[in-house]
Amino acid sequence: MEVAAVMLRDAIVRLSAAGGYSILALAMRIKGPELVGLQNMTVFALDDPSIFGGGHAYITEVRFHVVPNQLLMHSDLVRLPVGTVLPTLVRGQHLVVTQGGISEPFGSGLRINYVPIKNPEVVSNSKIVVHSLYFPFPHMYLADQAYAMPVDSVEGILESSDAAVAPGVAPVCGSPGSPGGCKMAPAPAPAPAPAPAAVSGHLVANAGHDGSL
Mean pLDDT across 177-205: 42
Nearest to 182 by CA among 142, 150, 144: 150
The per-residue pLDDT for 54 is: 85
Query: For the whole model, what pTM was predicted?
Result: 0.68
Q: Tens of pLDDT along 110-129?
A: 999 999 999 999 999 999 99
Q: What is the DSSP letter of 2?
A: H
Q: Give me the count of residues in the chain.
A: 213
Backbone angles phi, psi at 122, to 5 degrees: -65, -30
**Could you tell me which CATH number the domain at 2-140 has?**
2.30.180.10
Please give the mean pLDDT across all residues of the chain.
76
